[in-house]
Amino acid sequence: DQQVKQNSPSLSVQEGRISILNCDYTNSMFDYFLWYKKYPAEGPTFLISISSIKDKNEDGRFTVFLNKSAKHLSLHIVPSQPGDSAVYFCAAINNNDMRFGAGTRLTVKP
């Protein structure tokens, strides 16, 4: 029962353009959402989060958008840089229980 889904296993973007990574969830009880970034042979690192009472949170080049009615969130990276190439995991929390998506591999081409 995958409550958090990232339907795109990979995404390729040109340097300087926008990267949009998507995430869908099924459990309406999730009240907090996070994005993690993972490089090969390393553990995921926390990137940005958003509470369910908000619809947008911005941190530098990274912005997370939440559409509760659609049960959908997205991570925008603008402008994309080659160093952003990594696997991005979406995660959602309900009552201290964190669920992860399968990840999207982002490749930013120079």
Partner 1 sequence: DGGITQSPKYLFRKEGQNVTLSCEQNLNHDAMYWYRQDPGQGLRLIYYSQIVNDFQKGDIAEGYSVSREKKESFPLTVTSAQKNPTAFYLCASSQKGGILRGYTFGSGTRLTVV
Footprint on this chain of partner 1 (rule: CB under 8 A):
2, 4, 6, 9, 32, 34, 36, 41-46, 49, 89, 93, 96, 98-103
Contact 53, 44 (CB under 8 A): no
Residue (73 or 89) nearer to partner 1, CB = 89
11: Cα within 13 Å, side-chain hemisphere? 24
In the bound complex, what is the minimum distance in angstroms from residue 101's beta carbon to partner 1? 5
The length of the chain is 110
Residue (34 or 73) nearer to partner 1, CB = 34
